[in-house]
Copies of this chain bind each other. A is one copy, B any other.
């Protein structure tokens, strides 16, 4: 096999980096379960027509074909359905809910942590395989507003739980489709989707150009365009945004409803996770398909990384001829987050292997004895390996040192074993049936870089 090259867009971690990723995944899972969300996984593939059924024909998906299929048969045998790798966890969730509706309890509270794939052009340097962590609550027919308050708190807790390992401060920015739509309608603008898409370009093209486009393409006059820009400038970490919107003098029942909802989200966040959530009326991403609250999350000092956690309310996450399933959900881009933690040196593992103790081998003939010492330690939950060879002790200690293994165990001749902390050099008598490492050394920890 020729020495292989990495594939751009398909990140892989070395063992020490993987420990950081596992810590992140464990932390997310623990937080999600504390909020009573059930884990599910869905298959990696969906029929292509389902992946594209939301009109996402622009998505770059990977189609599958069996190697030994007749090349003339582009699809799967099952009714000729073309299979493709899922590009997010929302479409699969919708399908899973429809498929299992009779066997699920609603509201269905689930989290899902899986890889997804996007058939990006490799030269763009984007991820083509990455892990997402999604939380959603799905209703059967209806779903109360209060889940739009609850779910960003789940994610705020999850991200806050990563602060001790080096995740920098973050802000969840929240807006509400009803605020924007009600405001535009109250202004007399009808092309709500068009206005939203134009306002979404603010960061890219600036306010003057946005105003021009609103006038040229979305049926606004200069006053209306100015009001749209004024709305987008409003941002507050508390409910003061309500008065500022009211101050613009626009009236509409949908605006009232949206302001009340957005205020409730901001209030609850103030009670539960002070300082991490702001109302930001500039957020327009996804407002064309979300129907209520929308969320995005940036690392305050690394806005260039984009949103690490986004989502919103869909009135129709899934539906069939009989029923509709509204949902609220957010998704963390785990790979993007871990790339930042590892790539920016924000987090690191205290060692590269799980091993806490290396049992040194005085002589290859004594391997069975050393294996039993290792077993005795392992039975009390201490990760152990036995030295690969009966080399000189100096070489065995270097084996441990290179991997960051903190302790080396020296079997004695008559059970008078000793254990050395190779960081301090301190060596003490020890009994495999009773010795315990310090808590902080038992497993590798993840700490700020």
Contacts and interface: CB of A to CB of B under 8 A. Distances in A.
Interface of A: 1-8, 10-15, 18-19, 22, 33-45, 47-48, 50, 53, 59-69, 76-78, 83-85, 94-96, 98-100, 103-105, 107, 109-110, 115, 117, 119, 121-123, 129, 144, 146, 150, 153, 157, 267-268, 271-272, 318-321, 352-355, 367-368, 371-372, 375, 378, 381-386, 388-389, 402-403, 443
A268 B371 contact: yes
Contact of A77 (B6, B121, B153, B389): B121
Given A44-B129, A100-B14, A34 B381 contact: yes
Contacts of A37: 354
A43 B129 contact: yes
A153 B385 CA distance: 13
Contact of A98 (B3, B107, B375): B3
A368 B27 CA distance: 25
A39 B20 CA distance: 11
What is the copy number of this chain in the assembly? Answer: 2
Nearest to A85: B64
Contacts of A271: 368, 371-372
Contacts of A13: 40-41
Contact of A34 (B107, B117, B378): B378
A378 B37 CA distance: 13
A371 to B, nearest CB: 7
Contact of A60 (B66, B104, B109, B389): B66
Given A18-B41, A40-B15, A99-B4, A64 B67 contact: no
A383 B144 contact: no
B67 A33 contact: no
B39 A15 contact: yes
10 contacts: A4-B47, A7-B83, A10-B45, A13-B41, A14-B100, A18-B38, A19-B39, A63-B67, A76-B122, A271-B368
Nearest to A43: B10
Nearest to A382: B34
A286 B22 CA distance: 33
Contacts of A19: 38-39
Contacts of A319: 1
A417 to B, nearest CB: 18
- Which 3 interchain pairs have the tightest Cβ spacing? A36-B385, A36-B355, A66-B119
